[in-house]
Structure 1
Amino acid sequence: MTMAYVSRPHQQQTLEWLDGGLFTILLDSEATEGQLTVGRFDIPKGEAPPFHLHTREDEVFLLLKGEALVWVGDERHELSEGGAVYLPRNIPHGYRITSDRADLLLIATPAGIEEMFRYAGRDTSAPRPDGFEITKDRLAEAAALRGTLVIGPPR
């Protein structure tokens, strides 16, 4: 049975992510019956995930505010406010935020990628443990759970 779902801020989960950035899960597998994940990043300058590819989902990034460099395979692109990138599964990619802050919308289909963020990130509704960090090992474990392959360091 297909049903509409309305996501309100008090229902959304915000996770501390790489380099002190935040990732808010707006719509997850449960809300969309496995169809898609929608999330929003609030990220500082310099934030860059490892170069990676997804084997299970296609991604779209929409840069709502800020500037970034985006690598798709061997190509490097500058992305500015309002720019969008479509990343089919199995295409290596990465990005680096070049503005002071960025507001980045993520859409992935099918849903499930949010579990990677939940596994490695920290729910901001709970107290922050001393020394919290997302280690390379923890990030690699989280990525592997969702069929994401880390293929190189951040660019």
Structure 2
Amino acid sequence: MSMAYIAQPQQQQQLEWLDGGTLAVLLDGLATNGQLMMGRFDVEEGEAPPYHQHTNEDEIFLLIKGTALVWCDDEEYELAEGGVVFLPKQIPHAYRITSKRADLLMINTPAGIEGMFRETGRDKSTPRPPGHEVKPDPAIATKYGNVIVGPPR
């Protein structure tokens, strides 16, 4: 049975992400009975995950602020502030932030991919180990149904 879930900003897990960015986990599978995961990225110019595809979930990006290049099935698109992208599972995709900063909302359905973000990223409420770097790990990606098919673009 699903229940309403409310989380104030201070209750949302903050993960250190690629290139020093932050991913706030707004909703996860536990909060949504496995229905969806929602996260919000605060990232800088150049942030780019590897070219990849999801085998378990569909994904939606909403670029709240900033600009980006997006690749879907090897086609390149420019995404402007307020632009949205729907990525069905199995479609290879990637993006690269082209503005100085970007605010990106991500929704995945069903939930589950948050495990990859938590295992790859670092919870910012814990001390940062010396020399720690957040970087994609193909083994962790595969564990959560993601396939890295190429380098960042």
TM-score, length-normalised on structure 1? 0.96
Query: What amino acid is the match of 2:152?
Result: P
Aligned position for 1:73:
73
Per the TM alignment, residue 8 of structure 1 is displaced from its structure 2 partner at its CA by 1.2
Aligned position for 1:145:
143
SS at match of 1:32: coil
SS at match of 2:31: helix
The runs of at least 4 consecutive aligned structure 1 residues that moved more than 2 Å come to: none
Q: Residues 1-155 of structure 1 correspond to what in structure 2 (within 5 A)?
A: 1-136=1-136, 139-155=137-153
Q: 1:54 to 1:124 in 2, by over 3 A?
A: same
Distance of 2:26 and 2:78 partners within structure 1? 26
Per the TM alignment, residue 134 of structure 1 is displaced from its structure 2 partner at its CA by 2.4
SS at match of 2:30: helix
- Contact kept in structure 2, 1:117 and 1:142, CA below 8 Å: no
SS at match of 1:59: strand
User: Number of matched residues?
Assistant: 153
SS at match of 1:29: coil
Alpha-carbon RMSD across the aligned residues, in angstroms, is: 0.8
Per the TM alignment, residue 89 of structure 1 is displaced from its structure 2 partner at its CA by 0.1
Output one character per residue of 1:114-140: Cα deviation in whole Å (capped at 9) or x when no partner.
10000010000111110111244xx21
Unaligned runs of 5+ in 1: none
- Contact kept in structure 1, 2:18 and 2:135, CA below 8 Å: no
Unaligned runs of 5+ in 2: none
Output one character per residue of 1:38-77: Cα deviation in whole Å (capped at 9) or x when no partner.
0000001000000000000000000000000000012100
Distance of 2:102 and 2:135 partners within structure 1? 22
SS at match of 1:143: helix
Identical positions, percent? 62
Distance of 2:135 and 2:45 partners within structure 1? 19
Per the TM alignment, residue 12 of structure 1 is displaced from its structure 2 partner at its CA by 0.7
- Contact kept in structure 2, 1:34 and 1:110, CA below 8 Å: yes
TM-score, length-normalised on structure 2? 0.98
Per the TM alignment, residue 141 of structure 1 is displaced from its structure 2 partner at its CA by 2.1
